[in-house]
Amino acid sequence: MQCRERSTSSMEQRGVTVWFTGLSGSGKTTIAKQVEQELRNRGLRVDRLDGDIVRQALTRDLGFSKEDRDKNIERVTFVAKMLTKNGVIVLCSFISPYRERRAKTRREIEEVGEFVEVYVECPLEVCAERDVKGLYAKAFAGEIQNFTGVSDPYEPPENPEIVCRTAEETVEESAAKVIRYLEGHGLVPKMERLAPEAYIEMEETYGAHNYAPLDVVITRAEGVWVWDVEGKRYIDFLSAYSALNQGHVHPRILQAMEAQARRLTLTSRAFRNDQLPLLEKELCELTGFEMMLPMNSGTEAVETALKAARKWGYTVKGVPPDKAQIITCAGNFHGRTITIISFSTEEPYREGFGPFTPGFVTIPYGDADALEAAITPETVAFLVEPIQGEGGIIVPPEGYLRRVREICDRHNVLFIADEIQTGLGRTGRLLACDWEEVKPDIVTLGKALSGGFYPVSAVLASREVLGVFRPGDHGSTFGGNPLACAVAREALRVLVEEGLIDRAVEMGAYLMGRLQRVESPYIKEVRGKGLLVGVELVPEAGGAHRFCEALKDEGVLCKDTREHVIRFAPPLVITREEIDWALEQVEKVLAE
């Protein structure tokens, strides 16, 4: 049985120019980008020539006059014709106001390939209201002359192949029109997609049943939005458990990944590469630590931290061999390896997997007195989440982390902060520990370290701690590979340069405020920090899972944790308008 999506045609790709025409602000480039993404996902050769692209490369010297508009289109037509001749799908989206000039372009393109005109129809007042670049305001004020639709005419096409009415249609609907036309006329191969039920049945048949996902089959994503295989759009309020702080498919990170993948992907640690040292330096400088050890998954980072702490205990603190103890907290979640579930307090994680790794002591979370009471001369470290994520978005009492730091200092115990979910901006600080201005001895990072593109994790510590490792003590074939490092470097730059950490504070306060005003008999408490928020439901609500299912049906993807808590953790790029839309669905579901 053929399980993959497949083309129904074995034809060679034919060259075609798809010419989007319409007023500024009508949505030409937005639709073109959507079409481009879909066609690239199919492995087709696509180039997009939009207003910004052609201004940078072809038309920087041209203005808004009719003569300059004609020269603009003449140059773009030349490029589009060459690409079309070579079998490329060319998506042109910029102002082309005159029918005669568009007709000339059609004739020239049809000498070498196919030409499809898409009229992106949108009323002038709607375009002016959108005014993405502020051009309409300047045109109406007389600051820009010869502006199409204001001081110069726009001549709509008389017989376009496709009409997209963006005041009435979503971007997805408009893009789907274009794709259907191209498929229907044999200009791109048709793609047969399986029904969602077929994907689910396949996974249930051939995949191990170690997860219980919501039954939505996602096929693509952008920013805070994802789409299923039937084209339905959802807002992502989980962010892959905080791995997507920078948003889905961030273009800068994608570009960095593509560029590195063309050069070098893997060397193993048997040889050096030119990306790992740069990531080590940049991450240490950003966080204030002296050394970094790269791994792949968050669980690996925690295991690495535990190994480092034990060896530090034996070689630096002087704990007798095989006597080291590490203190952990009830309700913790640090991964699912044998050692890590050894100190889990959740029986479903442990059942059937013993015997377990010794050397761990568990205390109540958020109780500094319990920590001090549990410390013995053999204690080498205390492992804690600054906020418990899987534990139900549990925020410890104010001052708890400061007391932990003071207690660990006094007893010569390493303070290990698992910041895999809470770190890298999620709570509104680079690290959640920064809220109390404390610096742990060891920090583990993962998830958002790659912006959701690649498994990347890291252990950060002082030279005294990570310096205990010698060649052969620890390693990973893929840990520190150049592709992962290039991706992580750009993901960190995006986080800082785009102000996403501060944005988490602003949007988190807005989200919390909106949630706290929701009137529902089911809500017991709203808690969290930044954009890591938990809504705990009363026992009478019947568990959080059914509400997550209902929210999925309304277009909001989130997940329950600890039975009675709904976790909300959208990408940090989310806007107020997107929060408002999501909260309308939340209010609807929690009110019913």
**For every residue of 518-537, which 3-state class applies, written as one string?**
CCCCCEEEEEEECCEEEEEE
The helix (run of H) or strand (run of E) holding residue 148 is none
Q: Does residue 252 sit within a domain?
A: no
Q: How many CA atoms lie within 13 A of 257 on its CB side?
A: 17
SS3 70: helix
If asked whether residues 509 and 570 sit together in one domain, one would say yes
Residues in the chain: 592
Q: Examine the pLDDT at 127 and tell me if it is beyond 60.
A: yes
Judge if the upstream peptide bond of residue 570 is cis by omega within 30 degrees of 0.
no
The number of helix segments (H) and strand segments (E) in the chain equals: 21, 22
If asked whether residues 285 and 417 sit together in one domain, one would say yes
Contact between residue 461 and residue 308 where contact means Cβ atoms under 8 Å apart = yes
Q: Does residue 267 sit within a domain?
A: no
CATH number of the domain where residue 507 is located:
3.90.1150.10
The closest of 558, 560, 562, 549 to 582, measured between CA atoms, is 558
If asked whether residues 278 and 397 sit together in one domain, one would say yes
pLDDT of residue 61: 54
If asked whether residues 430 and 533 sit together in one domain, one would say no
Q: Does residue 247 sit within a domain?
A: no
Q: Examine the pLDDT at 440 and tell me if it is beyond 50.
A: yes
Alpha helices (H) in 3-85, listed in sequence order: 28-41, 51-57, 66-85
Q: Examine the pLDDT at 53 and tell me if it is beyond 80.
A: no
Cα–Cα distance measured from residue 296 to residue 478, given in angstroms and rounded to the nearest whole number:
7
pLDDT of residue 62: 52
Give just the sign of the alpha carbon dihedral 462, 463, 464, 466.
positive
If asked whether residues 225 and 370 sit together in one domain, one would say no
Cα–Cα distance measured from residue 195 to residue 206, given in angstroms and rounded to the nearest whole number:
17
Cα–Cα distance measured from residue 12 to residue 40, given in angstroms and rounded to the nearest whole number:
16
Task: Let me know the angle formed at the C-alpha of 566 by 234 and 509, rounded to the nearest 5 degrees.
Answer: 80
pLDDT of residue 12: 60
pLDDT band, very low/low/confident/very high, at 52 (cuts 50, 70, 90): low
Task: Let me know the angle formed at the C-alpha of 525 by 520 and 529, rounded to the nearest 5 degrees.
Answer: 125
Cα–Cα distance measured from residue 339 to residue 383, given in angstroms and rounded to the nearest whole number:
13
Q: Which of 437, 468, 497 is the last residue of a domain?
A: 497
Cα–Cα distance measured from residue 57 to residue 67, given in angstroms and rounded to the nearest whole number:
19
CATH number of the domain where residue 363 is located:
3.40.640.10
Mean pLDDT check: name the lowest of 5-19, 138-152, 171-185. 5-19
Q: Count other Cβ atoms within 10 Å, centred on residue 426.
A: 31
Q: Which of 439, 462, 497 is the last residue of a domain?
A: 497
User: In the chain, what percentage of residues exceed pLDDT 70?
Assistant: 95
Cα–Cα distance measured from residue 440 to residue 407, given in angstroms and rounded to the nearest whole number:
12
pLDDT band, very low/low/confident/very high, at 548 (cuts 50, 70, 90): very high
Q: Examine the pLDDT at 9 and tell me if it is beyond 70.
A: no
Q: Which of 462, 497, 532 is the last residue of a domain?
A: 497
Q: Examine the pLDDT at 115 and tell me if it is beyond 50.
A: yes
pLDDT band, very low/low/confident/very high, at 592 (cuts 50, 70, 90): confident
SS3 136: helix
- Calculate Rg over the CA atoms of the chain: 28
Cα–Cα distance measured from residue 404 to residue 406, given in angstroms and rounded to the nearest whole number:
5
Read off the tokens for 111.
């000498």
pLDDT of residue 244: 98
Residues with active-site annotation:
333, 418, 447
pLDDT of residue 6: 37
Cα–Cα distance measured from residue 399 to residue 415, given in angstroms and rounded to the nearest whole number:
15
Read off the tokens for 80.
């589009």
Q: Does residue 144 sit within a domain?
A: yes
Q: Which domain holds residue 568?
A: 204-241+500-591
Cα–Cα distance measured from residue 527 to residue 537, given in angstroms and rounded to the nearest whole number:
12
Q: Does residue 199 sit within a domain?
A: no
Domain count, the chain: 3
Mean pLDDT check: name the lowest of 46-55, 163-172, 437-446, 555-564. 46-55
Burial class of 358 by CB neighbour count within 10 A (0 to 12, 13 to 18, 19+)? exposed
Q: Does residue 255 sit within a domain?
A: no
If asked whether residues 433 and 348 sit together in one domain, one would say yes
User: In the chain, what percentage of residues exceed pLDDT 90?
Assistant: 82
pLDDT of residue 2: 36
If asked whether residues 44 and 129 sit together in one domain, one would say yes
pLDDT band, very low/low/confident/very high, at 192 (cuts 50, 70, 90): confident
SS3 465: helix
Burial class of 361 by CB neighbour count within 10 A (0 to 12, 13 to 18, 19+)? middle
Read off the tokens for 169.
């249609």
pLDDT band, very low/low/confident/very high, at 147 (cuts 50, 70, 90): confident
If asked whether residues 434 and 528 sit together in one domain, one would say no
Cα–Cα distance measured from residue 333 to residue 345, given in angstroms and rounded to the nearest whole number:
9
Q: In the predicted model, what is the mean pLDDT of residues 388-395? A: 97
If asked whether residues 489 and 516 sit together in one domain, one would say no
Mean pLDDT check: name the lowest of 17-31, 363-377, 415-429, 566-580. 17-31
If asked whether residues 383 and 479 sit together in one domain, one would say yes
If asked whether residues 210 and 300 sit together in one domain, one would say no
pLDDT in tens, 282-309: 999 999 999 999 999 999 999 999 999 9
The helix (run of H) or strand (run of E) holding residue 360 is strand 360-363
pLDDT in tens, 354-389: 999 999 999 999 999 999 999 999 999 999 999 999
Across the chain, mean pLDDT equals 93
CATH number of the domain where residue 138 is located:
3.40.50.300
Where are any strands of DSSP class E within 364-473? 379-384, 414-418, 442-445, 457-461
pLDDT band, very low/low/confident/very high, at 402 (cuts 50, 70, 90): very high
The type of residue at 303 is E
Where are any strands of DSSP class E within 148-288? 162-165, 191-192, 218-222, 225-228, 233-236
Mean pLDDT check: name the lowest of 86-100, 173-187, 201-215, 382-396. 86-100
Cβ neighbors of 54 (< 8 A, separation 6 or more) are 72, 75, 76, 94
Q: Examine the pLDDT at 230 and tell me if it is beyond 90.
A: no
The DSSP secondary structure of 201-224, one letter per residue, reads: HHHHHHS-------S--EEEEEBT
Contact between residue 319 and residue 380 where contact means Cβ atoms under 8 Å apart = yes
Q: Count other Cβ atoms within 10 Å, centred on residue 568.
A: 28
**Phi, psi at 343, each rounded to 5°:** -110, 15
Alpha helices (H) in 343-425, listed in sequence order: 347-350, 368-374, 400-411
pLDDT of residue 302: 99
The type of residue at 23 is L
Q: Does residue 264 sit within a domain?
A: no
pLDDT in tens, 244-268: 999 999 999 999 999 999 999 999 9
Q: Does residue 261 sit within a domain?
A: no
**Phi, psi at 29, each rounded to 5°:** -70, -35
If asked whether residues 158 and 21 sit together in one domain, one would say yes
